């Protein structure tokens, strides 16, 4: 049981480049999330999804896009990377209240540096 | 708008002592309060959680105390060990489909010294 898998683990981008952070879960969770973690700032929600085909903005969505075409996958797209997007990105998944345990499972993170 | 406030930002405790981390929330619609533990280079993992129908929940050396009227909850780690050194996040969510996303506090870096 792999849980939540994120790729890549590390990436250096130049200003203005774009990339996609991949996230996949094999627990059949309906909720999926993307958080960014900056030192001393906790975890900020970028986007989340309550199921395939449904996404919504979190606290800090600017500069990012997501899609959810399947239950398993929730990629995060960065367009025109900026130094302010240097951070550690975490993908997570969970059930909703009506489906069972609401524990959120996190991936190992992607450390992104924009130079 | 920070809906979950956590303190302290960092904490140093001697081995065998009690570690206490506090959180306060604003949204009275929150009804699920988990604590997550994160080791360096890893993603956060659920440690213990409480719902507001009880005032305390204990699992081993870890206890959550919950004060609904004050809108506060805290994590107590008894007999703290060096292996407990990690960053701890409190969080909150509500039972409302489409709004169940977790809102996290800013984290507390706990260091247990021998």
pLDDT(B97) > 80: no
Which residues in A lie closer than 8 A to residue B34 (C-beta atoms)?
103-104
Which residues in B lie closer than 8 A to residue A56 (C-beta atoms)?
98
Omega before A8 cis (within 30°)? yes
Report CB contact under 8 Å: A108, B43: yes
Asked if B105 is an interface residue toward chain A (Cβ–Cβ < 8 A), one would say: yes
Position B94 scores a pLDDT of: 83
Position A98 scores a pLDDT of: 61
pLDDT(B5) > 60: yes
Class of domain A4-105 (CATH, top level): mainly beta
**Whole-Å CA distances, B65 to A60, B2, B35:** 31, 21, 12
Q: Give the Cα separation of A6 and A61 in Å (integer).
A: 19
The CATH number of whichever domain residue B28 belongs to comes to 2.60.40.10
Question: Sign (positive/negative) of CA torsion A92, B56, A98, B71?
Answer: negative
Position A45 scores a pLDDT of: 93
Position B95 scores a pLDDT of: 75
> How many contacts (CB atoms, under 8 Å) link A and B?
62
Report CB contact under 8 Å: A109, B102: no
Position B22 scores a pLDDT of: 98
Number of domains present in the structure of chain B: 1
pLDDT(B71) > 90: yes
User: Average pLDDT in the B25-42 region?
Assistant: 92
pLDDT tens digit at each of 115 positions of chain A? 679 999 999 999 999 999 999 999 999 999 999 999 998 778 999 999 999 999 999 999 999 999 999 999 999 999 999 999 999 999 999 987 665 567 899 999 999 999 9
Average pLDDT, chain B: 93
Q: Which domain holds residue B82?
A: 4-113
Q: Which among B43, B46, B93 is the nearest to A107, CB-wise?
A: B43
φ, ψ of residue B8 to 5 degrees: the values are -80, 175
**Of A20-29, A62-71, B43-52, B92-101, which gets the smallest average pLDDT?**
B92-101
Which residues in A lie closer than 8 A to residue B29 (C-beta atoms)?
none
Position B52 scores a pLDDT of: 87
User: Average pLDDT in the B36-58 region?
Assistant: 93
Which residue ranges make up each domain of chain A? 4-105
Position B42 scores a pLDDT of: 93
Query: Nearest CA to B70 among B110, B16, B14, B23?
Result: B23
Report CB contact under 8 Å: A43, B100: no
Position A99 scores a pLDDT of: 56
pLDDT(B18) > 60: yes
pLDDT interval class at B72 (50, 70, 90): very high
Q: How many CA atoms lie within 13 A of B94 on its CB side?
A: 12
């Amino acid at each position: 049981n792999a849980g939540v898998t994120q790729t890549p683990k590390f990436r250096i981008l130049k200003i203005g480049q774009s990339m996609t952070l991949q996230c996949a879960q094999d627990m059949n969770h309906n909720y999926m999330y993307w958080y960014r973690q900056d030192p001393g700032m906790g975890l900020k929600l970028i986007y989340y999804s309550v199921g395939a085909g449904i996404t919504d903005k979190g606290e800090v969505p600017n500069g990012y896009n997501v899609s959810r075409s399947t239950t398993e996958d929730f990629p995060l797209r960065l367009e025109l990377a900026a130094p302010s997007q240097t951070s550690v990105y975490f993908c997570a998944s969970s059930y909703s209240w009506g489906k069972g345990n609401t524990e959120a499972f996190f991936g190992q993170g992607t450390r992104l540096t924009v130079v | 708008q920070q809906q979950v406030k956590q303190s302290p930002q960092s904490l140093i405790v001697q081995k065998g002592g009690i570690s206490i981390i506090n959180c306060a929330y604003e949204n009275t619609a929150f009804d699920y309060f988990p604590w997550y533990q994160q080791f360096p280079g890893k993603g956060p993992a659920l440690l213990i959680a409480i719902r507001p129908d009880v005032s305390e929940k204990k699992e081993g050396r870890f206890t959550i105390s919950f004060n609904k009227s004050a809108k506060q909850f805290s994590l107590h780690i008894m007999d703290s060990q060096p292996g407990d050194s990690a960053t701890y996040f409190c969080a909150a969510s509500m039972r409302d489909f489409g709004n169940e996303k977790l809102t996290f506090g800013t984290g507390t870096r706990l260091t247990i010294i021998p």
